Amino acid sequence: MGRGRRQDQASLWGRLGEDWISVIVGLAVVLFVWLVGFSSIPWPLFGVFK
Amino acid sequence: MSQSATVSRKMGMFLGLLLVAVAAIVIAELDSGVAAWFKSQGIGKNPLEYPLIAVALGLLVNAVLRATKTHAVLQPAMRTELFLKVGLILMGARLDITQILSQGIGGLLQAVVMVTSVFFFTWWIGTKLKVNEQLKAVMAAAVSICGVSAAIAAAGAVVAKKKEITYVTALVIMTAIPLMIATPWIAQALGLPADIAGAWFGGNIDTTAAVVGAGTLYGEEAQAVATVVKMSQNALIGVAAFLLALYFVVRIEKKPEEKPSAAMIWHRFPKFVLGFILVSALASLGLFGADIVGALQALSKWAFAMAFFSIGLELSVRELGKMGWRPLAVYGAATAFNTVLALGVAWLVFGVMGF
């Protein structure tokens, strides 16, 4: 378990933690939608959930 | 961890994420199909909200994975909390603080009274029934503030176990659906005006989707008031997370030789709340147009669908059974108290005081 834990700590996930990763992902999505524009995303299924 | 174990973990993560993504598409399609069916039957609002569909599908896939002994392989991708936190950050775009302040003083007043009373009632009954401090805090936050999002924030602040979060989240989803259907019906039977009924739904029902659902079933005005009251409660997540982190560092887990510090509180404070506050601040400044807010809301639903599906995937009936009847009794009593008190406070604030 000790080795596994050390390896996990060394990974990006382990170092940043799920909390910070969620902040980075969430803000990246907001920034993307804000700057690029939502309508430019070529995914027809996006319209399903509204 | 050996090299082959690392490779299989990565493969499990990839296949699991693929499964979750495909499931989200299936959930979205099912949600849309079910809504269309209800509409064709003359019921404008789909009473089977997508969180329920997502959890049900998750449970089904969970049973298949356990029967085929592949559950453990895909476990690395079951990141319920990550999906929920991302969804909550995106949901921050809906929380316009200026709108709450300009239109919802009554809602804000109701939110503060409700959150304080219900939180301490749940805490008190949890202490009486000897439920552990962490589970008690997560339940109190979930019932008093705003269901899953508050549960996740509180869980970070008090360092709750994963199974405790899953347990409370499952209870929140399971109670939200009957409340969403029953409360508009009871409000109708009591002949409640739309603003009081809306305030009751917003103060009582735990998930935002179900609040909007109940409001919609009652009418446009009820939906608007319900949404403002719910948003006011959502705005209190950060405050609650900070106070819980402070309380657990200073009182519950303080060691005699240890001096509580700001760093310890910061370490516990759920950082996703900062993302949520930042996005709602940007929305409140008017930086996002209606199309951007709508898009972020749709994307948050995708993240929540993945999260609720993961809850179903992770749910272990055996683990939940081990927790016993006490947490269930606390949650039931707190929900009943919340329902009755929210009706009284809504009547007082919107009926008697006339906000």
Determine the residue among A23, A32, A50 to mutate to test chain B binding: the one whose Cβ has the most chain B Cβ atoms within 10 Å.
A23
Judge whether B33 lies within some domain: no
Judge whether B327 lies within some domain: yes
Determine, for residues A27 and B271 on separate chains, whether the beta-carbon distance falls below 8 Å.
Answer: no
Determine, for residues B86 and A29 on separate chains, whether the beta-carbon distance falls below 8 Å.
Answer: yes
Confidence (pLDDT) at A6: 47
The string of pLDDT tens digits covering residues A38-49 is 666 655 555 555
Where is pLDDT greater, at B281 or B224? B281
Q: What is the ipTM of this complex?
A: 0.75
* Number of domains within chain B: 1
Chain A residue with the nearest C-alpha to that of B83: A22
Confidence (pLDDT) at B65: 93
Q: What percent of chain B has pLDDT over 70?
A: 94
Looking at chain A, how many residues does it have?
Answer: 50
- Rounded to a whole number of angstroms, the CA Rg of chain A reads 17
- Give SS3 for B201: helix
Tell the residue number behind the tokens 């446009």, with chain if given. B220
Closest to B1 (Cβ–Cβ): which among A7, A20, A50?
A: A7
The string of pLDDT tens digits covering residues B108-147 is 788 888 899 999 999 999 999 999 999 999 999 999 987 8
Of the listed ranges B194-198, B251-255, B256-260, the least confidently predicted one is B256-260
| Residue A30 contacts B where some CB pair is shorter than 8 Å | yes
Judge whether B122 lies within some domain: yes
Answer for the pair A6, B67: CB distance below 8 angstroms, yes or no. no
CA–CA gap between residue B189 and residue B204 (Å, rounded): 17
| Residue A20 contacts B where some CB pair is shorter than 8 Å | yes
Judge whether B232 lies within some domain: yes
The string of pLDDT tens digits covering residues B148-175 is 888 988 888 888 888 888 889 888 888 8
Q: Which domain holds residue B173?
A: 82-352
What is the pLDDT confidence band of residue A3, given thresholds at 50, 70 and 90?
Answer: very low
Residue B172: count other Cβ atoms within 10 Å of its Cβ. 26
Where is pLDDT greater, at A1 or B333? B333
Determine the residue among B25, B94, B272, B310 to mutate to test chain A binding: the one whose Cβ has the most chain A Cβ atoms within 10 Å.
B272
Answer for the pair B133, B333: CB distance below 8 angstroms, yes or no. no
Judge whether B242 lies within some domain: yes
Where is pLDDT greater, at B2 or B60? B60
End-to-end alpha carbon distance in chain B: 61
The string of pLDDT tens digits covering residues B302-352 is 898 898 898 888 887 777 777 788 999 999 999 999 999 999 999 998 888
Tell the residue number behind the tokens 């559950």, with chain if given. B71
Could you tell me the sign of the dihedral formed by the alpha carbons of B60, B63, B68, B74, in that order?
A: positive
B182 to B124, B187, B202: CA distances (angstroms): 27, 9, 14
What is the pLDDT confidence band of residue B47, given thresholds at 50, 70 and 90?
Answer: low
Highest mean pLDDT pick, B97-101, B136-140, B297-301: B136-140
Contacts of B201 (CB under 8 A, 6+ apart): B183, B184, B187, B211, B214, B215, B218, B222, B226, B229
Tell the residue number behind the tokens 């929920």, with chain if given. B84
Q: How confident is the model over B266-285, as a mean pLDDT?
A: 86
Judge whether B170 lies within some domain: yes
Highest mean pLDDT pick, B44-58, B73-87, B221-235: B73-87
Helices B50-67 & B162-190 angle (0-180, nearest 10): 140
Judge whether B46 lies within some domain: no
Q: Measure in Å the smallest separation between the Cα of B224 and chain A Cα atoms.
A: 18
Spell B118-135 as b/e; 16+ CB within 10 A means b: bbebbbebbeebebebbb
Confidence (pLDDT) at A43: 54
- B104, pLDDT greater than 70: no
Judge whether B328 lies within some domain: yes
